[in-house]
Amino acid sequence: MVCVCGHTAEQHLQEAMHPPGPLAQKWDPKIHTQERPTDAFGDMVCSDLSEKQSKYVRLSDNTPPGTIYELMTQHWGLREPNLLISVTGGAKDFTMKPRLRSVFRRGLVKVAQTTGAWVITGGTHTGVMKEVGQAVRDSSLSSRCRESRVVTVGVATWGAIHNRHSLVRPPHCSALVYGGVKN
């Protein structure tokens, strides 16, 4: 059985499959979701980054930015940014000329390192976001110094994450209370 949101019944809580009101109603996150403590957070190993561990958390779309900032700086230990660099674009793959690719990658890393910036992307491995990830990967492989590391933050929708269910903690693990999660 497929829900009106497009996901299967197994991907929802039981009460989400029997919402109050007419079933033909257009799916609306304010009506058809509920907020609760998140069950998806922790450390993940990025195998293409020399087994580097990265933090992740699943948050509600209305989690206050200050709460997210506190989590990242005080609990994850990220240094406060002097600058935010947002790299956005379509998730469509494209071809970049080798010289332009090299200039983009080196320039992005140099600016981020020299300014103490955080680089924020859409968090997927396609399009310009893939270029950012590869630039940061290459930089981290060539530089072991913590001060020269580039802080990269990927913000992706839950449905776009491959193998996302492996990021959900078992029921016996305590839930993180930052923000929440909509299901």
Summarised one tens digit per residue, pLDDT across range 70-79 is: 999 999 999 9
At 63, the amino acid letter reads T
Summarised one tens digit per residue, pLDDT across range 169-183 is: 877 665 554 545 555
Summarised one tens digit per residue, pLDDT across range 110-157 is: 999 999 999 999 988 888 888 998 898 888 766 665 556 889 999 988
